[in-house]
Amino acid sequence: MAIADAHTVRGGLRTLWRMTRIALMTPWQVTFAVGATLISATMQLIIPRLLGRAIDQTQLLAAGTLDATNALWTTAWAVLAVSFVRGVFTTFQNYFSEAVNHHTGVELRLRYYEQVQRLSFGFHDSVHSGDLITLGLLDLDGARQFFSTGLVRLVLLTVLIGFGGTMLLQIDWQLGLMALSFVPVVGWFSSVSQLRLRLTWRDLQDRMSVLSRVMEENLAGIRVVRAFSAGAHEMTKFDAASANALGLAHERVDIRVRSTGIMTLSFLAAMGLVLWVGGEKVMAGHMSVGTLTSFLTFMTILQMPVRQLGLLVNSFARTSTCGARVFAFLDLQPAIADGPKAKDLVLGDAELRFDGVDFAYPNAPEAKVLTGLTFTAKRGETIGIIGPPGSGKSTLAHLIPRFYDVTAGRIMVDGQDIRAVTLASLRRAVSVVAQDVFLFTTSLENNIAYAEPLAEDEAIEEVSSDAQIHSHITGLKSGYRTVVGERGSSLSGGQRQRMAIARSLLPKPSVLVFDDSTAAVDANTEARIRTALVEGASDRVTLIIAHRLNSLLHADRILFLDKGRVVEQGSHAELLALGGRYRALYDLQTSGADREGL
């Protein structure tokens, strides 16, 4: 399925609740963060009262009232103490809120990475890795901040706006209404702008995904780019994708700047109105200068929380969107998974049987790749498989370890349907050596021992010798501890294939499948590999998929596939005597070899 199809919103409240539950997995940090927020907000509301009192005390002091001096000093120390307490608890609020954010991020990343490992080949066939990287970076980061930008901010704004507004109205309800007149304007424009920013955020995510995809493909294919001097073409592609994202970023800045201008204007207008009306009340003796100062200080304090209403709306909206995308991915069920009653594979004779197997890829169910495929391979047998491109050879190899499930029929190992056994036990028993080899950026030793991390050095050297790579490794300066480049770029194609063979031999599989895995190996080295593998072949089933007939001449039986069916089978000699398609292919390849030798 395409990743965009999986990202439908499954209910904003449900997503927010799931994010809250993840945040609550760190209850002590949550408690400290919320408690510090309440104390910090309370201290912030006390400051305007103290400042207003200080102004009134200053007027008394100017009038020559000596008692006001001590009161003024007391108020000044109170302001310093309240400000200090507020600063300390604001620091605690920020620290513990970020701590919860990071714990949430770690939990989401672990779940995300685990899900990437669980999902089947069919999913990865249909989703670009750049989309997955964008989901695991941008969407996950947008969701993990919900606690500090959403929940904590909600507590803070409730205390400041709710209690602060109530205090203003209690002092003077008329002047209070004037002071709060900017709140609906700022709240509206802040919310609308943030919602517009959220809508463009999804579009920006998609454009950044395209940008990541272009970059990822360029990095993966940098050798091809350099080989064909296509740097200018790649720069044009990247520049177009970057300009597309930049254009939307400019649009988002324009939305933010315009809304900020309107909000600032409404606040200053409300403050001017309060100064005008409040000043008249002071001159008429209906209000003290300290009380007017409290009003203006309250307004200044409320300005930022009211502006943050939009940020609060945006946080809830962004978490709903990004969180829904993340949870939609996490909720995906692998197409290939252990059944409810799956048991470990029990090995005996290690007999492999295809019984009337049909298969079509999930993204093209109407196009069968294999049809009615039936054959049996017993322990000690080597089965060769050959056929034209698209005949289903590699598909057959991918079905044995259950990278995909058959459409019809069944595959059995020792009489056990592979769909009824655990994937872990099946894949311990089956090794597939693919033509396209992936090596990790680590030492040669670790690459070979990937399936058996605790393998002894002697075992690693033994399989390396069988794969005819030992002498090359020992000739390197650091030997088996030599670190290979990304995807094994420091090794030749043949060396990478021999590394893959060694890696697959180490677990001692009961079924070993070579999927054209010696295509980059010269004939002499291939012959030595074949000779080295004969000794262990008696303990396993060996399937060799190849395009070169020389790779199959020693096979006990050869299957010729065409359009997903076995059209000819037998030993090399029997198929030559048959005079069919195998014979025609043999004549074509041997005549080509003869011409090359002339």
- Residue-wise pLDDT for 207-240, tens only, equals 877 787 788 777 777 777 777 677 788 788 888 8
For residue 240, which phi and psi values (nearest 5 degrees)? Answer: -65, -45
For residue 37, which phi and psi values (nearest 5 degrees)? Answer: -65, -45
Amino acid 203: pLDDT: 77
Task: List the structure tokens of 286.
Answer: 């209906």
3-state secondary structure of 558: strand
Amino acid 72: pLDDT: 67
Amino acid 7: pLDDT: 42
Q: Say yes or no to pLDDT of 579 above 80.
A: yes
Domains of the chain: 5-330 (1.20.1560.10), 352-591 (3.40.50.300)
Kindly report the average pLDDT of the chain as a whole number. 81
Q: For residues 471 and 461, what is the distance between their CA atoms, to the nearest angstrom?
A: 10
3-state secondary structure of 341: coil
Amino acid 486: pLDDT: 65
- Whether residue 563 contacts residue 391, with contact meaning beta carbons closer than 8 Å, is answered with yes
Q: For residues 446 and 269, what is the distance between their CA atoms, to the nearest angstrom?
A: 69
CA-to-CA dists, residue 54 to 61, 70, 87, 369, angstroms? 10, 11, 21, 86
Q: Say yes or no to pLDDT of 31 above 90.
A: yes
For residue 452, which phi and psi values (nearest 5 degrees)? Answer: -135, 75
- Whether residue 542 contacts residue 475, with contact meaning beta carbons closer than 8 Å, is answered with no
First-last CA distance in the chain: 53
Longest dimension (CA), the chain: 126
Higher-pLDDT residue of 432 and 490 is 432
Amino acid 86: pLDDT: 86
- Residue-wise pLDDT for 90-104, tens only, equals 899 999 999 999 999
Amino acid 3: pLDDT: 45
Task: Output Rg (C-alpha) for the chain, integer angstroms.
Answer: 36
Q: For residues 567 and 459, what is the distance between their CA atoms, to the nearest angstrom?
A: 41
Length of the chain: 598
Q: For residues 315 and 318, what is the distance between their CA atoms, to the nearest angstrom?
A: 5
Q: For residues 168 and 165, what is the distance between their CA atoms, to the nearest angstrom?
A: 5
Higher-pLDDT residue of 186 and 346 is 346
CA-to-CA dists, residue 429 to 109, 397, 404, angstroms? 31, 14, 16
Task: List the structure tokens of 134.
Answer: 């964008």
Q: For residues 274 and 296, what is the distance between their CA atoms, to the nearest angstrom?
A: 8
Half-sphere exposure of 412 (CA within 13 A, CB side): 16
Angle at the Cα of 536 from the Cα atoms of 575 and 458, rounded to 5 degrees: 145
Long-range contacts of 588-591 (CB under 8 A, 24+ apart): 589/548, 589/549, 589/550
Q: Say yes or no to pLDDT of 558 above 80.
A: yes
- Whether residue 505 contacts residue 536, with contact meaning beta carbons closer than 8 Å, is answered with yes
Q: Say yes or no to pLDDT of 43 above 60.
A: yes
Amino acid 60: pLDDT: 60
Closest CA to 322 of 146, 109, 119: 146
Closest CA to 293 of 271, 263, 264: 271
- Residue-wise pLDDT for 390-447, tens only, equals 888 888 989 999 988 999 999 999 889 999 999 989 988 898 888 778 888 888 899 8
Q: Say yes or no to pLDDT of 251 above 70.
A: yes
Any idea which residue has 């590999």 for tokens? 529
The proportion of the chain whose per-residue pLDDT surpasses 90, expressed as a percent, equals: 13
Least confident of 369-378, 515-524, 558-567: 515-524
Higher-pLDDT residue of 123 and 381 is 381
**CA torsion, points 503, 504, 509, 515, in degrees to nearest 10?**
180
Q: Say yes or no to pLDDT of 11 above 70.
A: no
Amino acid 92: pLDDT: 93
Q: For residues 340 and 75, what is the distance between their CA atoms, to the nearest angstrom?
A: 71
- Residue-wise pLDDT for 121-147, tens only, equals 777 777 777 678 778 877 888 888 888
- Residue-wise pLDDT for 164-177, tens only, equals 777 777 777 777 78
Q: For residues 582 and 562, what is the distance between their CA atoms, to the nearest angstrom?
A: 11
Higher-pLDDT residue of 115 and 551 is 115
Q: Say yes or no to pLDDT of 569 above 70.
A: yes
Amino acid 597: pLDDT: 42
Which strands make up the sheet holding 368-377, listed edge to edge? 368-377, 352-360, 408-413, 416-417
For residue 571, which phi and psi values (nearest 5 degrees)? Answer: -75, 170
Residue 284's pLDDT band (cuts 50, 70, 90): confident
- Residue-wise pLDDT for 348-362, tens only, equals 888 899 999 999 987
Half-sphere exposure of 431 (CA within 13 A, CB side): 21
What is the per-residue DSSP string for 506-530?
Answer: TT--SEEEEESTTTTS-HHHHHHHH
- Residue-wise pLDDT for 463-481, tens only, equals 888 888 888 888 888 888 9
Over the range 171-208, which residues count as b (16 or more CB within 10 Å of their CB) and which as e?
Answer: bbeebbebbbbbbebbbbbbbebbebbbebbeebbbbb
Q: For residues 491 and 474, what is the distance between their CA atoms, to the nearest angstrom?
A: 14
Higher-pLDDT residue of 317 and 496 is 496
Q: For residues 480 and 443, what is the distance between their CA atoms, to the nearest angstrom?
A: 7
- Residue-wise pLDDT for 106-122, tens only, equals 999 999 988 888 888 77
Amino acid 80: pLDDT: 87
Please list the alpha-helical segments (H only) found in 63-128: 67-118, 121-126
Q: For residue 222, what is the enclosing H or E element? A: helix 222-227
Task: List the structure tokens of 91.
Answer: 């620091």
The proportion of the chain whose per-residue pLDDT surpasses 70, expressed as a percent, equals: 90
Average pLDDT over residues 579-590: 86
Q: For residues 57 and 68, what is the distance between their CA atoms, to the nearest angstrom?
A: 6
Amino acid 32: pLDDT: 94
Half-sphere exposure of 406 (CA within 13 A, CB side): 25
Average pLDDT over residues 189-211: 73
Amino acid 234: pLDDT: 79
Q: For residues 244 and 218, what is the distance between their CA atoms, to the nearest angstrom?
A: 18
Amino acid 4: pLDDT: 40
Average pLDDT over residues 501-513: 88
Task: List the structure tokens of 58.
Answer: 């200053």
Q: Are strands 352-360 and 408-413 parallel, antiparallel or unpaired?
A: antiparallel
* Identity at 561, one-letter amino acid code: L
